[in-house]
Each structure stands twice: as structure tokens, then as C-alpha cells.
Chains A and B, each alone.
Chain A
Amino acid sequence: MVDISAAPPAPTGTTTDALVELRGVDKHFGALHVLQNIDLTVRRGEVVVIIGPSGSGKSTLCRTINRLETIDSGTIVLDGVPLPAEGRALARLRADVGMVFQSFNLFAHKTVLDNVVLGQVKAKGVKPAKAKEIALALLDRVGVRNQADKLPAQLSGGQQQRVAIARALAMQPKVMLFDEPTSALDPEMINEVLDVMVGLAKDGMTMIVVTHEMGFARRAANRVVFMDGGQIVEESDPETFFTAPKSERARDFLSKILTH
């Protein structure tokens, strides 16, 4: 039996319920203060949706959590362990954080199957036969097993994104980050990806999702975090956020995306 459940692995760090903890995180791009004193705690099994206007720092926040971006000050703790600065420890820790990109970023010269096998074998030392078994089970789960031998460019956007989710899951991450996973997709493909994500959430995966898909937020999120100008302006449960936002900035933002 291959265990492909998304149930989070047993805690390895402290006994607290917090899986991802950002404390006083600051980040500049030159003179631009993109993340301003960010405090955010994501509990084990929680699904957090990050929403906010373009340029508010959502992607940057996501990317700091697996250190694709460095931070200027503050701390980021993952399952009780502070993010290492560089080297092998960082690479190992990155494998614990699954990342799904807006533009899929599947390895263009590798087949779908190899995309899902590669990280397991090269970063985690899983035996190739075992890795292939796990990969096929995961591709089955996201509904693209019959595409296993194709190259990414031969797949539709929705299929590619589901492969990207399978690739991230293959590393058995503790938390999954999604940066606008459906905004590069044609409308008819958005739901096939969101359905996979909702399934993951139901299985107990800890998820941080940057998205403007309110349907997803309502169906799957425990919490909505609203960002603007590099700050977290407001946090609440999805229903409250969408029906009765507290801040003027959130109201303003929602009125804009709702009229579209």
C-alpha cells in the first residue's frame, strides 16, 4: 500500500499547534517596504486564504515561507524549527514546504511522471521503483494518471497545474503553499484544480493559498487574511470577511472584485 494521504506527518518540533509562524517579518525590495512587520500563525491542518490587491505582497509573503525570498528581519518558524539560512538544511526544509506556482513551472524537459518522481529520488533518496509507485498513485489522485508519459507542454493548463500539485505532494510536505494557482487558467479549467485543492483541505493538509477565488475560500478556508500595502489589514473567517469586512480597505477591495 502506498500512503498518499495528505494527513500531516506527526509533529517533530514543539508541542504547540502552530505549524507555520511568522513573527515581525520585514522585507524590502530596494526602497519598497513589501512586507511590514508581518505576524501570522498557521495551525496544523488549517487552510488560510490570502487575499489583497495587486502588489500588496501576497506572493512575496508566500515565497518567504520557503525562502525563495530572504527576509530583512523577523523570524519564520516551521514546525518548531526556525528557517535555516542556507545550504543543505535549507534544501531539506524546503522539501517540507510544497509550493504550487501560478505558472505551473513543471520541468519542461521531463515527462509528467518524471516530474513527480525526480524530487523524491534526488532530494529524499526514495528508491526509483518506490518513487514511481507513489508518483502514479498521486497522478491518479489528481486525475492525470493517463497523461504520465507526456511532456508538460502537451497538457492543458489545468492538467499541468494538477501535475504540479502532485509533484509537490510527492515530497510529503507539512504545508502546501499556493500562489494564485488558478489565475493563469482558462475559466473552464479552474474548477478541476480547485476541486483537487478542496480535496486536499478535506484530508487535513495545512494550506496557505493566495487566491481571489471566493468560492474556494468559502468551501475550504478556515480563515481569510487580507493584505494591503505590505501589511495584514484584517483576518477573519471567510463568511464574515466576505459579508461584513471590518476595514474600509477590505470593503473597497471587495467592491472592486465583486463588480467584475
Chain B
Amino acid sequence: MDDGYFQQFLSLFDEFDVPAAFWVNIQLTFFAGILALILGTVLATMRISPVPSLRWAGSTYVTLLRNTPLTIIMVFCVLGLWGQLGVTLSPDFQTNFFRLAVVGLTVYHAAFVCEALRSGVNTVPVGQAEAARAIGLSFWPAARLIILPQAFRGSVAPLGNVLIALTKNSTVAAAASVAEASGLMRTMIEFRPDVILAIFLTFAFGFVLIVVPIGLATTALSRRLAVAR
């Protein structure tokens, strides 16, 4: 490598907006993360409910979505939902694809959120539910006030793992034509194969920079929020 290599590499950042591409991944992760948390909580509640049909629906959803490759879900969201069924989530072309990608990431990761929460439910002793029932709370108030809050606090670490997976999986949104980091990387390599190694390292490092703090934060949080028994 001569001096020119580094100059060549730096000039990439003038040609391509790398931070903007990463910002798209962060946004995908943010929105899909919140929606997956909500949907996953609903699914977990269904799976612990006393109603057999709800339990069945919850576990069927999880089995189906967890075992389907994300790329296929993503392609379905674009070609199936939008292309075939005409589902449009925004009049703006780019925004529409972004939102379809969020839907794909959400429905997939909700299954994992559900399972993480269920592992949290298992940390709650059965006596907690019995005490809730004994003071006259029926299933829903008992779940909302007693079981789920403790389950959340007991599943911060596995939820953190889901968030880390989601952050990395947000690159699959490229399959939905969303201009995010991995897509930009491919474009850059195509145009500048001379600095391919530097490009690859840039993007790998970018993800490490996003993911490592998530891991550290969730580990610290899971210790702080752990329910003392």
C-alpha cells in the first residue's frame, strides 16, 4: 500500500454519504424495534393466556415467522404486499419501501421478542400469579400488573440480543430496495474495487460501533432492573 491508498479511501466519503446510509439502518432498527416489542408483547400475552385458541394462534405465529428466512419475508413485503396486493404505506416511493421494510423486520423479530419475553415469564415464580389471583385479579390485570412487568425486567438480556440481531438484520432491507448501509457498501465496491478492503472494514466497523453499545447497555440494564427475590 502506498500513500495514495489512504487518500483514495478518504475520497470515498466525498463521493458517497456513508453516515446517511447508517442513519437509515438506525431508523429501521428504531421503528421496527418499537413495533416488534409491542407485537411481541401481544404474542407473549396470547401464549400465556388461559384461552386455548389464543395460545394456539400465538405459537403458530411464532413457529411460522421464526422459521422463515428474513430475506423471504422482506421480498414478500415488497413483491407480495406492495407489488401484488397493492399495499401502499406512503405516497412517496422511498418512504413506502422504508415502511414496508419496517413491517418485514417487525413481523419477523416480534416472534423472537415473544420468545425472549416468555423466557422472562419463566423467571417469575408461579406464586406471583397465584397471589394475584388470590386477591381477586383476573387474568388480564394479573398479567399486566404483576407478571409482564417482572417478565420484562427478567428478559432484558435476551431482548437485548434480539435488538442486536435486529440491528444487523436491518441490512436485509436492501432486499426491499431501501438505501441502507449494506446496499451502499455493494455500490461502493462496484465503483471502487481498488479500495475494497478499506470499504469492507469501514462498514464492519460501523456496525460494531452501533452494536457494541447496545450489548453493554442491555447488560448493565438487566443487572439494574433484575427483580430482587
Name A's B-contacting residues (CB within 8 A): 66, 68, 87-88, 90-95, 97-99, 101, 103, 105-109, 118-119, 122-124, 151, 153-154, 164, 167-168, 171
Question: Closest CB-CB distance, B50 to chain A, in whole Å?
Answer: 9
Q: Which one of B130, B137, B227, B229 contacts A91 once the chains associate, using CB atoms below 8 Å? A: B137
Contact B136 A123 (CB under 8 A): yes
Chain B positions within 8 Å of A68 at CB level: 130, 133-134
Chain B positions within 8 Å of A123 at CB level: 135-137, 141
Contact A106 B145 (CB under 8 A): no
Chain A positions within 8 Å of B137 at CB level: 91, 119, 122-123
CA distance A180 to B130 in the complex (A): 16
B127 within 8 Å of A (CB atoms): yes
Q: Report B126-150 residues with CB < 8 Å from chain A CB.
A: 127-128, 130-138, 141, 145-146, 149-150
In the complex, 15 of the A-B residue pairs with CB atoms within 8 angstroms, ordered by the A residue number, are A68-B130, A97-B134, A99-B134, A101-B127, A103-B125, A105-B125, A107-B131, A109-B153, A118-B135, A119-B136, A119-B137, A153-B229, A154-B228, A164-B131, A168-B134
CA distance A73 to B95 in the complex (A): 62
Output the residue of A66, A95, A107, A124 with the most chain B CB within 10 A.
A107
Given A66-B134, A92-B136, A122-B137, CB of A107 within 8 Å of CB of B127: no
Given A91-B137, A92-B136, A168-B135, CB of A153 within 8 Å of CB of B130: no
Contact A108 B227 (CB under 8 A): yes
Contact A94 B135 (CB under 8 A): yes
Given A119-B136, A153-B229, CB of A109 within 8 Å of CB of B131: no
CA distance A259 to B227 in the complex (A): 41
Nearest B residue to A153 via CB reads B228
Mostly, the A contact residues are helix
Q: Number of B interface residues at 8 Å Cβ cutoff, please give it.
A: 21
CA distance A97 to B135 in the complex (A): 8
CA distance A93 to B137 in the complex (A): 10
Q: Report B145-180 residues with CB < 8 Å from chain A CB.
A: 145-146, 149-150, 153
Nearest A residue to B132 via CB reads A107
Chain B positions within 8 Å of A88 at CB level: 138
Question: Closest CB-CB distance, A135 to chain B, in whole Å?
Answer: 12
Chain A positions within 8 Å of B229 at CB level: 108, 153
Chain B positions within 8 Å of A97 at CB level: 134
Contact B136 A94 (CB under 8 A): yes
Q: Which one of B127, B136, B145, B149 contacts A105 once the chains associate, using CB atoms below 8 Å? A: B127
Chain A positions within 8 Å of B153 at CB level: 109
Q: Which one of B132, B141, B227 contacts A109 once the chains associate, using CB atoms below 8 Å? A: B227
Chain A positions within 8 Å of B227 at CB level: 108-109
Chain B positions within 8 Å of A153 at CB level: 228-229
Contact B131 A171 (CB under 8 A): no
Question: Closest CB-CB distance, A130 to chain B, in whole Å?
Answer: 17
Chain B positions within 8 Å of A66 at CB level: 134
Output the residue of B130, B131, B145, B229 with the most chain A CB within 10 A.
B131
CA distance A87 to B228 in the complex (A): 32
Question: Closest CB-CB distance, B135 to chain A, in whole Å?
Answer: 4
Nearest B residue to A103 via CB reads B127
- Beyond the given pairs A105-B128, A108-B150, A122-B145, 6 more chain A to chain B contacts, judged by CB atoms under 8 angstroms and listed by A's residue number, are A68-B134, A91-B133, A95-B135, A107-B146, A108-B229, A151-B228
